[in-house]
Chains A and B, each alone.
Chain A
Amino acid sequence: MTLTEVPSATRSFVAPASDLLIDIKGLRISFDPAEARGQGHTVVDGLDLQLRRGRILAIVGESGSGKSVTARSLLGLAGRGARIEAERFDIFGQDVRRFEEAAWRRLRGSRIGLVLQDALTSLDPLRTVGAEIDEALEAHAARRWSRRERTSEIVRLLDSAGIRDPDFKRRQYPHQLSGGQRQRALIASAIAADPDVIIADEPTTALDVTIQARILRLLKEKVGGGKGLILISHDLSVVAELADDIIVLNRGKIVEAGPARQVIYNPANDYTKQLIAAIPGSHSRGRRLSALSPAIAAEELPGTDAEAVPVVRAEGLVKWYRGAGGEDFKAVDGVSFTVHAREILGLVGESGSGKSTIAKLVTGLLPPDAGTISIHGKPWPGVTAGERRANVGTVQLIGQDSLGSFDPRYTVREIVAESVALAFPDRKERERRIRELLDLVQLPAGTIERHPRELSGGQRQRVSIARALGSDPKVLVCDEPVSALDVSVQAQILDLLHDIRHVSRTSFLFISHDIGVVYHLSDRVMVMNDGIIVEQGRSEEVFSSPNHSYTQKLLEAVPKLETERALK
């Protein structure tokens, strides 16, 4: 018996006879300027939404589309100063437009459950997982349950969410569980009071792709029991496998809505088409992802893309790390690879695989504990101090966190000038080169005097790329350069990197956890797991017929937007 099977006298919601759980028409959410920081504006305009039992509805949009606000408004948690208007806003047949806080509270948890991304911050780190679930039970308990009854219910919930050894785990804190287990615990706490609707806001964004697949499967399972699921994501491919219906949002307006197959394989709206075209993967190799045409005036270099001349040679790299508990472990355990001239070598792996360490080793920021790296036959970064000094600028890095990678006091000009100074000691030449580079990365001239914090994420990455190219490097290490960007911006940046490759002699080491991105861009690829390279080879070969079982597992877990389309 679950806690919510109680006489209807104590429940304010009667289970609706129809299967229409949520019915919204013309939803408009705006924020009051007095309460909001800065301007008041309309975040969602004219949204229609219907959720039926047993169906999965996906809301897809990029940042600023209003998808998260919409989700939270379904729980009355849109935030301070939010003004919600709608022609119709019915949840379980009740008009919630005039709901008081107390009414919302009865709704939350018991009828609608919320799952956020990244359980490390979405679960209270100072409370045990069991205590968090208990809170949900307590909030909606019909009568006083004994400790034992509640405990066994908590164990049951954890178990049903797929957590091994639930009785032990319930006494653990979120940081003690792995990423996937944490997310499962979060889901367990959201469904504890047996709500009919689950809203999952980017539930898998912080997770590795293999874990992601399992979590999505878990959510789908829960729907099977006659519930409704609203899945919110920026990632169409994640949503494609799971959703029955899809709504696409752009800047608060619905641009497309309908059954999933129709929206994905036969979209009507341009924005949706762009969004789909921007997804990198096996099908997109060799073509541009975004509609922006290349601005590169320089001529393409003749010859094949990747030449056979090896530029970087890494042999037997080993790096130890001191773990948090004091024990050492090998982040990199005997890794060897070669990067050829003008080639893009991809490095793909999940978190903890050691790929970021490889980035630091190749850039020279971290010395290896064993093994060597050489560039054009000479040891890198150099044996003597003199050699090291001469070698500066040979390898450059483009990282993920763009704002943190810039000195907050510097303008764009100063940032790029720092690396350009290596190739152009003369000031006038330097100025000219800086402008050239900014043109190359398609940054408008006005940005040169601005600070990075005034720019958008995509623009900042362009600055990052300009800076990296400034010293005319032989090797460009890209460590998750597009992971923090929206799909459409990501597309532009990937195109940019592609274009740059065609006009320069630089070699790329492209590191990412996103297999689609790596597949799209790289000539050869290495797959890394637990500090070792389990497989490497030409991208098409590795991705179409992987040899190692880990690679196979990885590929299986990747959301399958592409295969279907490739088949078309």
Chain B
Amino acid sequence: MSISLTEAFRPARPLRWDIILSLAFLALLAIAALFPWLIAPRDPLQTDFGNALMPPSLEHFFGTDKLGRDVYTRTVYGARYSLFIGVLSTVLGVGLGVLFGLIAGVSNRLTNEGISRFFDVVGAFPDLLFALVLITFTGPGTWNLIFAIGIASAPRYGRVVRAETLAIRESEFVQQAKLSIASHAKVVIRHVLPNALGTVPVLATLGIGSAILGAAGLSYLGFGPQQPIPEWGSMLSEARGDLRVAWWSGFFPGLVITLTVISVTLVGRYLQRRFERRSVS
């Protein structure tokens, strides 16, 4: 059968250097999160009013903020908060979403509809606003942020997993399996679930990016880890008044956030392509 010719000759795979750079950057971030003192020997909380708002230099890579603290050091130490909140809230969101999505996918019509409606309702509130509502109840703070972002993102994952599961349930190989496996439950466990779960790692990786952005945003608004913790978002918020004279105090934390999200996104997309090539649908 004839294949579309233009389809058969897509360009060769992009060079892997973007993945390599992304992984390298993420590795660096991991070090910054776990062993920040290795790459940033100073104290992030050390103020030095005499040296406030100094531009980037060999001594202070990213300059100093209005309290004379070294921006580079604070950025490095801040990694753990953004990553921590980003990863944990994604784990929470993916966990909840996948759990309910799978249940919806394999259950009877009623349960399926019920869970799906539930997703619709919670998902009717835009992510961040829902998180804000939760924060209003709980107050600001690291764990509250994780909780809020996690719950707000769960419907998104849930819907995708549910759709995937339903599609797999109807697929041909599942029908085939029913001819050799007596119990419905076994077919679900052996074929439906593993394939449905296959999409999860990709979803999660891509989701960490938006979780980090969300966490930074909420921190910027003042609802994340409180001062003087050097969380990237709140660092930007602090720097707001000094921008005219000291652009560096806000620029670098934001840059690092951007680079983090880019890296995570690139890795996630790469995984997605690998996965697509491996699966059938």
From B143-151, B167-175, B237-245, the one touching the partner chain is B167-175
Chain A hits for B191, CB < 8 A = 407
Given contacts A405-B176, A406-B173, A471-B180, contact A201 B2 (CB under 8 A): yes
Q: Which of A184-221 contact B (CB under 8 A)?
A: 201-202, 205
> Which one of B11, B175, B180 lies within 8 Å of A418 (CB-CB)?
B180
Digitize A66-93: 1 where CB-to-B-CB distance is under 8 Å, 0 elsewhere: 0011001000011111100000000000
* Cα distance A484–B1 in the bound complex, in angstroms: 8
B227 at the interface (CB under 8 A from A): no
Q: Which of A157-165, A306-314, A370-378, A385-393 contacts B (4 or more CB under 8 A)?
A: A385-393
| Segment with Cβ contacts to B, from A30-38, A266-274, A332-340 | A30-38
- Best-buried of B5, B179, B191, B198 by chain A (most CB within 10 Å): B179
Contact check, B9 vs A202: say whether CB atoms are below 8 A apart. no
Given the known inter-chain contacts A31-B9, A69-B5, please indicate yes or no for A407 contacting B179, CB distance below 8 A: no
CB within 8 A of A404: which of B3, B6, B173, B198? Answer: B173
How near does chain B come to A282, taking the closest CB pair, in angstroms?
A: 26
B3 cross-chain contacts in A, Cβ below 8 A = 68
Q: Tell me if A448 is interfacial: C-beta within 8 Å of chain B.
A: no
Q: If A408-B280, A409-B195 touch, does A79 touch B5 (CB 8 Å cutoff)?
A: yes
Q: Are B173 and A79 in contact (CB under 8 A)?
A: no
- CB neighbours (8 Å) of B177 from chain A are 407, 418
Q: Which residue of B lies closest to A37 (CB)?
A: B10
Query: Within 8 Å of chain B (Cβ to Cβ): is A434?
Result: no
The reply to whether B172 and A418 contact each other, CB–CB distance below 8 Å, is: no
CB nearest to B191 among chain A residues: A407
Instruction: Report the nearest B residue to A401, measured CB to CB.
Output: B172
CB-CB nearest 8 A-B residue pairs: A79-B5, A419-B180, A389-B182, A68-B2, A392-B182, A404-B172, A408-B280, A405-B172
Return B10 CB to nearest CB of chain A, in Å.
6
* B189 CB to nearest chain A CB (Å): 12
Q: Are B12 and A37 in contact (CB under 8 A)?
A: yes
Cβ-based interface call for B108 (8 A): no
**Is B8 a contact partner of A79 (Cβ separation < 8 A)?**
yes
A205-B1 contact, Cβ under 8 Å, with A405-B172, A405-B173:
yes
In the complex, the answer to whether A392 meets B181 with C-beta atoms within 8 Å is yes
Q: Is the CB of B279 within 8 A of A408?
A: yes
Is residue A403 within 8 Å, beta carbon to beta carbon, of the partner chain?
yes
The reply to whether the CB of A516 lies closer than 8 angstroms to some CB of chain B is no
CA distance A39 to B3 in the complex (A): 18
Bound Cα distance from A31 to B5, whole angstroms: 11
Q: B178: CB under 8 A from chain A?
A: yes
Produce 1/0 per residue, B4-40, CB < 8 A to A.
Answer: 0110111110000000000000000000000000000
CB contact list, A8-54 vs B, under 8 A: 31, 34-38
Q: Is the CB of B172 within 8 A of A116?
A: no
Contacts of A31 in B (CB 8 A): 9
Output the nearest chain B residue to A121 by Cβ-Cβ distance: B4
**A201 CA / B280 CA spacing, docked (Å):** 27
15 more CB-based (< 8 A) A-B contacts, given A37-B11, A388-B182, A403-B280: A35-B9, A35-B12, A37-B9, A37-B12, A63-B1, A80-B9, A202-B1, A365-B178, A392-B180, A392-B181, A399-B176, A404-B280, A407-B177, A408-B173, A471-B180
A519 to B146, CA, bound (A): 67
Q: Which residue of chain A has the shortest Cβ distance to B5 in the bound complex?
A: A79
Q: Which of A37, A68, A81, A389 contacts B183 (CB 8 A)?
A: A389
* Contact residues in A for B180 (Cβ distance below 8 Å): 392-393, 396, 418-419, 421-422, 467, 470-471
Q: Which of B6, B173, B195 contacts A80 (CB 8 A)?
A: B6
Complex Cα distance, B5 from A69, in Å, reads 8
Binding site for B on A (CB under 8 A): 31, 34-38, 63, 68-69, 72, 77-82, 116-117, 201-202, 205, 232, 234, 363-365, 388-389, 392-393, 395-397, 399, 401, 403-409, 418-419, 421-422, 453, 467, 470-471, 484
B176 and A397 form a contact (CB under 8 A): yes
By a CB distance below 8 angstroms, the chain B residues around A388 are: 182
What is the CA–CA distance of A34 and B11 in the complex, to the nearest angstrom? 7
User: Which A-chain residue is minimally distant from B11 (CB atoms)?
Assistant: A35
Report how far A564 CA is from B279 CA in the complex, Å: 47
- Out of A37, A399, A409, which one reaches B194, CB within 8 Å? A409
Answer whether residue B278 sits at the interface, using C-beta atoms and an 8 A cutoff: yes
User: Quick one: given A69-B5, A116-B2, are A365 and B182 in contact (CB under 8 Å)?
Assistant: no
CA distance in complex: A260, B132 (Å): 77
A71 to chain B, nearest CB (A): 9
Q: Which of B240-281 contact A (CB under 8 A)?
A: 278-280
Measured in the bound complex, the distance between the Cα atoms of B181 and A396 in whole Å is: 11
Chain A residues whose CB sits within 8 angstroms of the CB of B181 once the complex forms:
392, 418
Q: How far is the CA of A201 from the CA of B5 in the complex (A)?
A: 13
- Contact: B5 with A68, CB < 8 Å? yes
Determine if B171 and A393 form an interchain contact, defined as CB atoms under 8 angstroms apart.
no
Instruction: Knowing A35-B11, A408-B279 are in contact, say whether A392-B179 is a contact too (CB < 8 A).
Output: yes
Min Cβ gap A190→B in Å is 16
The distance in angstroms between the C-alpha atoms of A262 and B160, with both chains bound, is 59
In-complex Cβ contact of B179 among A34, A69, A393, A406 (8 A):
A393
Q: How far is the CB of A396 from chain B (nearest CB, A)?
A: 6
Measured between beta carbons, the chain B residues less than 8 angstroms from A77 are 5
Residue of A nearest to B7 (CB): A79
A-B contact pairs, 24 of them (CB 8 A): A34-B12, A35-B12, A37-B11, A68-B2, A68-B5, A78-B5, A201-B2, A202-B1, A232-B2, A365-B178, A389-B182, A405-B173, A406-B176, A407-B195, A408-B173, A408-B278, A408-B280, A409-B194, A418-B177, A421-B180, A422-B180, A453-B278, A467-B180, A484-B1
A116 neighbours in B (Cβ, 8 Å) = 2
Query: How far, in angstroms, from A407 to B181 measured CA to CA in the complex?
Result: 14
Report the Cα distance A408→B182, complex, angstroms: 21
Q: How far is the CA of A421 from the CA of B182 in the complex (A)?
A: 11
Cα–Cα, bound, A401→B280 (Å): 11
Which residues of the other chain, B, contact A82 by a CB distance below 8 angstroms? 9
Q: Which residues of B contact A201 (CB under 8 A)?
A: 2
- Please measure, in the bound complex, the distance between the C-alpha atom of A127 and the C-alpha atom of B183, giving whole angstroms: 47
A78 to B176, CA, bound (A): 39
Q: Contact at B2–A396, with CB atoms within 8 Å?
A: no
In the assembled complex, the CB of B5 is this many whole angstroms from the nearest CB of chain A, namely: 4
Find chain B residues with CB under 8 A from A396 CB.
Answer: 179-180
Looking at B171, B172, B178, the one whose CB has the most chain A CB atoms below 10 A away is B172
Q: Which of B5, B175, B179, B280 contacts A72 (CB 8 A)?
A: B5
Decide: B171 and A404 in contact? CB cutoff 8 A.
yes
Residue of chain A at shortest CB distance from B277: A453
User: What is the distance, in angstroms, from A312's C-beta to the closest C-beta of chain B?
Assistant: 15
List A contacts of B6 (CB < 8 A). 79-80
In whole angstroms, what is the CA distance A408 to B191 when docked? 10
